Amino acid sequence: MKQNVSIQIGKWVLVAVAAGLAIWLGRLVFQGDANDLRSWILSFGIWSPVIYILVYTVRPLIFFPASVLSIAGGLAFGAWMGTFYTIIGATFGAMLSFYVAKTMGKSLVRKEWTGKAGNIQSQMEQNGFFYVLLFRFIPVINFDLISYAAAFAKVRFTSFALATLIGIIPGTFAYNFLGSSFVTGNPKIIVLAIVVFIVLTVVPIVIKNQWNKKQPRDKE
């Protein structure tokens, strides 16, 4: 009994801390200067990359926009190192989301869906790596939603983690390159970054749409 009470208290404390951190980060980004988050990250000196990765890892628990944090990574560390640190943090964060969904939503994970939902669950379970990879290539799709959906659809953890690691590379670079371009202040680099961002965002969507159109033909 005491153990259950302790667990419940621990959960509420975690929720309170997450909510407080979310509010603080929200004010830091949306009510301050665009460089405030970058300045805060860099204020930790040599520990800045570690802090950035840790914040990105717990980001799903505080419902903070992944896109904003990715751009901040580019502002703080540049396109290449920002991409590297973001990939690490985002992958850990996705794994954390996956684990939380598996743990907190056991009834949904264990449930055998029927109808169209059942077909999706079956496809995700059998071809989890492919579907997660496909959705990760499209940065405009909610990052955390993919993690939760994969957990509920019984995608294997190893397939999910590997697909996430590979799939987020293009979008992560696009966001970090966009962020780093603002630091340079060079109009040409900013325009190039915007073009790269648009291309890496739109192309996966076009490919996905073309793939969806071909599916009925393949089945026939």
Q: Is the pLDDT of residue 11 over 60?
A: no
Q: What is the pLDDT of residue 23?
A: 57
Whole-angstrom distance, CA of residue 84 vs CA of residue 115: 41
For 99, the token pair is 């684990």
Identify the sign of the CA torsion 45, 46, 49, 51: negative
pLDDT more than 90, % of the chain: 23
Q: What is the pLDDT of residue 5?
A: 55
Stated pTM of the model: 0.75
For 153-210, the pLDDT digits (tens) are: 888 899 999 999 999 998 899 888 888 887 777 777 778 877 877 777 677 666 666 6
Whole-angstrom distance, CA of residue 11 vs CA of residue 94: 20
Quick one: which of 202, 155, 146 has its CA closest to 174? 202
Q: What is the 3-state secondary structure (H, E, C) of 45-99?
A: HHHHHHHHHHHHHHHHHHCCCHHHHHHHHHHHHCHHHHHHHHHHHHHHHHHHHHH
The Cβ of residue 28 has, within 10 Å, a number of other Cβ atoms equal to 15
For 48, the token pair is 């800045």
Residue 14 pLDDT class (50, 70, 90 cuts) = low
- The C-alpha angle 133, 135, 140, rounded to 5 degrees, equals 135
Mean per-residue pLDDT for 111-121? 58
Average pLDDT, the chain: 77
For 71-115, the pLDDT digits (tens) are: 889 999 999 999 999 999 999 999 998 988 887 765 555 555 555
Stronger pLDDT, 11 or 29, i.e. the higher one: 11
Q: Is the pLDDT of residue 220 over 50?
A: no
Give 140's DSSP letter: T
The CA-based dihedral angle spanning residues 198, 142, 94, 124, taken in that order and rounded to the nearest 10 degrees: -100
Whole-angstrom distance, CA of residue 196 vs CA of residue 149: 29
For 31, the token pair is 């009510």
How many helices (H) and strands (E) the chain has is answered by 12, 0
Identify the sign of the CA torsion 74, 79, 84, 90: positive
